[in-house]
Structure formats: structure tokens, C-alpha cells
Amino acid sequence: MQSPVSLMISPNPFCDNARISWQTRKSGTSSLGLYNIRGQQVLSLKIYTGIGINSYLLQKDKLASGLYFLRLQSPSGSVSRKVLILH
């Protein structure tokens, strides 16, 4: 399974919201998971993605300041990135 061509989080770190963008080579359902440093999942989303560039606006909502790990699982593969939320 190939990895997504790219996964970007901008801005990172962020205070209010961040744009998560990724590119896939296959269409289908993708999963976004956000995990705190204890490994607890604090956000779980299923999103239909098309071939090419896709995006999602991540809002801090009730998330505490700190380091998180974002995991994307798409039809093209999976990838993880660090995300830093500041208040």
C-alpha cells in the first residue's frame, strides 16, 4: 500500500484552527484520528475523499493545549504527523 503523496497541517502549531490537506491516488473513505500523548483518541472522523487534494478544517474546540498525533488512513495508505495546539 502506498502512502498518500502528502499530508500537511497549516499552521502548525495553531491556536484556533488548522487546515489539514492531503493528496490521495485513490478515492474512497478516509479516517482521521487525533491522539493525545497518552495515546488516547480524542477525535475520530470518516471522510469521503476523491483522487487528488482533499482537506479538512481542524478546530481546537475542547482540545487542551499540547502535543497531538494526527493519523490519516486513506485508500492510498496511512501517514501520521505531530500537531501542536496552543491557547
List, for residues 23-34, the tens digit of each pLDDT value.
988 899 999 999
As a whole-number percent, the residues of the chain with pLDDT over 70 amount to 94
| Strand 6-10 relative to strand 28-36, pairing | unpaired
pLDDT of residue 1: 46
Where exactly are the structural domains of the chain? 6-85
Determine whether domain 6-85 maps to CATH 1.10.1060.10. Answer: no
Reduced to 3 states (helix: H, G, I; strand: E, B; else coil), residue 32 is strand
- Nearest alpha-carbon partner for 73 in 20, 41, 39, 33: 33
pLDDT of residue 61: 86
As a whole-number percent, the residues of the chain with pLDDT over 90 amount to 78
Taking residues 17-43, what's their average pLDDT? Answer: 95
